[in-house]
A and B are shown apart, each in its own frame.
Chain A
Amino acid sequence: MNQFSYVRVTSKESAIAAMAKEKTAMFLAGGTNLVDLMKSGVTSPERLVDINNVPLATIEETKTGLRIGALAKNTAVAENALVIRHFPLLSQALKAGASPQLRNMATVGGNMMQRTRCHYFYDSALPCNKRNPGSGCGAIGGFNRMHAIFGASDKCIAVHPSDMCVALTALDAVITVAGPKGERKIPFGDFHRLPGDTPEQDNNLQRGELIIAVDIPFNQLSAHTHYLKVRDRASYAFALVSVGAAMQIKGGNIADVRLAMGGVAHKPWRLKEAEAWLKGKPATEENFRKAAGMAMTNAKSQGGNEFKLTLAPNTIVEALKTAAGQV
């Protein structure tokens, strides 16, 4: 790790001010991804602005939903009674991620900011356009079993590794960020980006901006939710494919539904077409399967991840069946 300066701040204003002082400064929250990336030499900030003492960790009910502070720990959110009551999908997704130790450290904001686990990104001896723009994509034509089947570009086929973000995108969350020019709101689905020609940009946060909170609007989906994560071992592994499913079922029919996937794209992948098609239809396996097929319309294999073309729709069906109480 290179030497860097370290400053501890206690307010979001001082955090934003401290960030402006040094071009390569970064915010340090839980550190579970950032410190790892610094150890690997992928990221070398010259200043860390420790925001752990900034009071942004509360979870509170608002008139329209829940507001979760960006510095709330993953464990705190997953175990929070309001979250479990209103948004069990979020709790399930968080508990499927990482390990208890990491969840005790990692924050909601940091989880959104976590970078891909693509090995070519982590290993500076290998080409990666995300780490080193213009160096090429090692995963294309290489080891890409874990990689994207949706929205990839010829520059990058990496996937976003978060479970929490899959739930938040399904739940129509809205992010509030603050920067030198004040606060702004970003719908969750617009936060992360597809790689396109600039895979070095994971998301649409502007330099110097700090994530303040995430708001999740109330819905009628809490009775039928399931987060299904398929991985190479039973726990403590990144998703091959994950599906967050939440439904409101009235008289056997799907009144409302949300579907999102992880491990398949550069961003948490919302399945809006499949949702729209399912609305109003009976909650049957046959319909789930049709919706899953619809969700796969633009899926594309990179070779090593061919199996995801089968696994992804199967996982959608299983998640929906489980959410509907049919398993």
Chain B
Amino acid sequence: MGIDKKSEPINRVDGRAKVTGKAKYFAEFEVPGVTFCVMVTSPVTRGTITTINTKAAERAPGVLAVFTHLNMPAIPGWAEQGNNSKLPSGGERYHMLGSNKILFNGQPVALVIADTLERAQHAASLVTATYNKAEHHTDLLKNKEKAAMPPRMGDYTRGADTNAHNTAPVVLKADYTVPIEVHNPMELAGILAFWEGDDKLTVYAKTQGVKSTQRTLAGAFKIDEKNIQVYAEFVGGGFGMGLRTWPQEVVVAAAARAVKKPVKLVLTRDQMFTLVGYRPYTIQHISMGATQDGQLTGIYHEATAETASYDDFTEGTVGMTRFMYACPNVTTKYRIVPLDRGVPIWMRGPGEATGAFALESAIDEMAYKVNMDPLQFRLKNFAETDPEKNKPFSSNNLKEAYQLGSERIGWAKRNPAPASMKDGEWLVGYGMSTGVFGAHRGESTCRAQLNADGTLLLQSATSDIGPGTSTAMVQIAHEVTGLPIEKIRFELGNAAFPPSGSQGGSATVSSVGSAVFDVCTALKGMLTEAGLSFDNGTVKPAAGKSDGLQEVLSKQNKTFFEVTKSSKGGAEQEKYSMYSFSIHFAEVRVHPATGVVRVKRVVTVADSGRIVSPKTAASQMIGGVTGGIGMALTEEGIIDHRFGRFVNNNLADYHVPVSADVPHIETIFVDKPDPITNPMGSKGMGEIALIGFSAAVANAVYHATGKRIRELPITPDKILSA
């Protein structure tokens, strides 16, 4: 049983709160007596603190407390872990303010808490420290010899001829670089924490998972999860940085307990570069073999990425290469290099976006080598079934997507020869790429409450970092019950609600949506038993019955019907390989004299099953494309390795795309239900919107100029020096 009709586009159910400024983000809750926390951070990249002087700060007006490693109350869960990380990278654990060790530049060394923000900021500037500097390593290119296989990602090999990529009639060998990228959601990260007594904690958090934050805090403070309340109804973007509860959040909670007052920490923008993760600098080597007529015979793909000395961050960078194309011999390797840096975290599209830049650039390069249209080359090597898992795809409408997109952009009308098209002085280029990401579904729980007035309340401890979770859930409930949208309310961002996973990996609609589907279905059953039914947007007496909803509830001494359902995928899912797909087409202009690249037009096609919420889904796609434009053309976190310190940790120098960088973006949905993934027939969208897009731009730049740029971002200097 599922939903078989197409969904209508509706406005966001929480949109009014957002356009009026009434939506409250974590730092905006009025908590009486709130105090302000500002962090002092290390200018040193590795070493130890020798002295730290907090006297002037403590004496400054309005200051309640200054915490350093010398006086920070112990965090029981951390103390239990000890310092030994037991990780292959071998480093010590990072416990903020837990010792005098400095493991990365920008590491907090003191917290100042004061009665106003300005006073806390000023007092923080009065803290002075001296350091014993040790030699540091932040440059992956100079530390490649430390590359190690992470425990969570082994090498992969398919096919007997592991050398096919070297011996084929046509061989391509190329190296690709994706720099550090920083999530930089517009809302600054942080936490607002307060205690009742010593064992009851409430936090307003910037998190993609209220349950995960609750678990982390419970583990850190060794108190029952029930005693920790986490709120995060509105989250001002995450893109992955909110998938972890960061050490400073735990420390601020501990500080709040010590000063016995609510404490609010809002990171500064520069701290967003060092304390809440980033997309790791990654170098990739691809070696690819094909026959003269364009049949892939072998692919070798090796990725090497940075991680922290204290954590083995791992992501799916080489995953796509294993199954995307019908190639008999494939080898992938993934290595990590521990550096004196803060730990990375998944950033939208995560490793798959990094890997897709390399693979989809290489596919384009190979297509030109064998004199084939890049689209035809992809079709020729199309994988009808998943060659990695040897399973059929639950659904795969890529061929239709290729066709829809290529027709819309006018792919066939272009002159395929590189550097052949012009618009005035500007060179014109078209490029395409494919994106893919697992159609995941996790366990999720939802509570439904049908009130006497016929309104339906749904609750689940999930999140909305922007995609429009509530809107999609209300649409699912509407489609199951027939109740009008305005009579349904979905509540989230509260750890006391029935548990759900974090919002990440494009899995929210599939996971939480299934729970909504199931709980609404259960509610229907409950109504049937009570002699009621959903009928044309209201609850009416079932055939042959006379009591309406109010009468039935009142006879049962209830004010509402209530049911909670947990939902997860069944065993049938094991039989299939489940992925969401996207195809991106980009038309670019490149100025040959200045090296400036502009994306002029975009057509992006999603094959992500049935579209549950068409309006917000289209926004997801244009958002992913915009992020992809940044990845392709503008974004790069730059470290001066002499100091181990960022030299563009602000929004003027780290270039997130602005409106002028982004053209009108055309989105197309194949919109065909997937019969396996979940009852809605949907698959995720958040990642595929971005995955591969950077390659479409790089490929278009090649088509425009004949210059192959393999190192992102494609800034004017790279065009001029290529």
* CB proximity of B535 to chain A, nearest CB, Å: 53
A145 at the binding interface (Cβ < 8 Å): yes
Taking CB atoms, residues of chain A closer than 8 Å to B661 are 233-235
Binds A, one of B28-36, B236-244, B644-652, B676-684: B644-652
Binds A, one of B457-465, B523-531, B713-721: B713-721
B43 at the binding interface (Cβ < 8 Å): yes
Instruction: Judge whether B658 and A307 touch: CB under 8 Å.
Output: no
* CB proximity of A63 to chain B, nearest CB, Å: 40
Chain B interface size band reads 35 or more
Who on chain A is nearest to B636 by CB?
A: A232
Q: How far is the CA of A21 from the CA of B647 in the complex (A)?
A: 37
Taking CB atoms, residues of chain A closer than 8 Å to B658 are 233-236
Taking CB atoms, residues of chain B closer than 8 Å to A143 are 638, 640, 647-648
Taking CB atoms, residues of chain B closer than 8 Å to A173 are none
Q: How far is the CA of A89 from the CA of B596 in the complex (A)?
A: 22
A297 at the binding interface (Cβ < 8 Å): no
Who on chain A is nearest to B634 by CB?
A: A233
Who on chain B is nearest to A241 by CB?
A: B594
Taking CB atoms, residues of chain A closer than 8 Å to B299 are none
Q: How far is the CA of A94 from the CA of B593 in the complex (A)?
A: 23
Q: How far is the CA of A237 from the CA of B645 in the complex (A)?
A: 22
Q: How far is the CA of A145 from the CA of B717 in the complex (A)?
A: 9
B643 at the binding interface (Cβ < 8 Å): yes
Taking CB atoms, residues of chain B closer than 8 Å to A315 are 593-594
Interface of B is mostly: loop
Chain A 128-151 interface mask (CB, 8 Å, partner B; 1/0): 000000000010011101000000
Given the interface pairs A2-B125, A123-B647, the reply to whether A240 lies near B716 with Cβ below 8 Å is yes
Instruction: Judge whether A311 and B595 touch: CB under 8 Å.
Output: yes
Interface of A is mostly: loop
Instruction: Judge whether B122 and A1 touch: CB under 8 Å.
Output: yes
Q: How far is the CA of A76 from the CA of B241 in the complex (A)?
A: 41
* CB proximity of A156 to chain B, nearest CB, Å: 16
CB < 8 Å neighbour of A117 from B596, B638, B640, B653: B653
Taking CB atoms, residues of chain B closer than 8 Å to A230 are 594-596, 716
* CB proximity of B157 to chain A, nearest CB, Å: 40
How many residues on A have C-beta within 8 angstroms of the other chain's C-beta atoms?
34
Q: How far is the CA of A317 from the CA of B634 in the complex (A)?
A: 25
Who on chain A is nearest to B662 by CB?
A: A234
Instruction: Judge whether A237 and B647 touch: CB under 8 Å.
Output: no
Instruction: Judge whether B647 and A120 touch: CB under 8 Å.
Output: yes
Chain A 239-260 interface mask (CB, 8 Å, partner B; 1/0): 0100000000000000000000
Taking CB atoms, residues of chain B closer than 8 Å to A125 are 43, 643, 645
Taking CB atoms, residues of chain A closer than 8 Å to B653 are 117, 119
A126 at the binding interface (Cβ < 8 Å): yes
Given the interface pairs A232-B715, A307-B716, A314-B594, the reply to whether A237 lies near B122 with Cβ below 8 Å is no
Which A residues from 199 to 222 make CB contacts under 8 A with B? none
Q: How far is the CA of A229 from the CA of B703 in the complex (A)?
A: 25
Q: How far is the CA of A13 from the CA of B720 in the complex (A)?
A: 52
Q: How far is the CA of A318 from the CA of B634 in the complex (A)?
A: 23
Who on chain B is nearest to A240 by CB?
A: B716
Which B residues from 503 to 545 make CB contacts under 8 A with A? none
Taking CB atoms, residues of chain A closer than 8 Å to B425 are 318, 327
15 extra interface residue pairs, beta carbon distance < 8 Å, beyond A233-B633, A314-B720: A123-B645, A123-B647, A126-B647, A138-B643, A142-B642, A143-B638, A143-B640, A232-B715, A234-B598, A234-B661, A235-B658, A235-B659, A236-B658, A236-B660, A307-B595
A interface vs B, CB < 8 Å? Answer: 1-3, 41, 117, 119-120, 123, 125-126, 138, 141-143, 145, 228, 230, 232-238, 240, 306-307, 310-311, 314-315, 317-318, 327
A-B CB contact pairs (8 Å), 8 listed: A2-B125, A126-B647, A142-B640, A232-B655, A235-B658, A235-B660, A317-B593, A327-B425
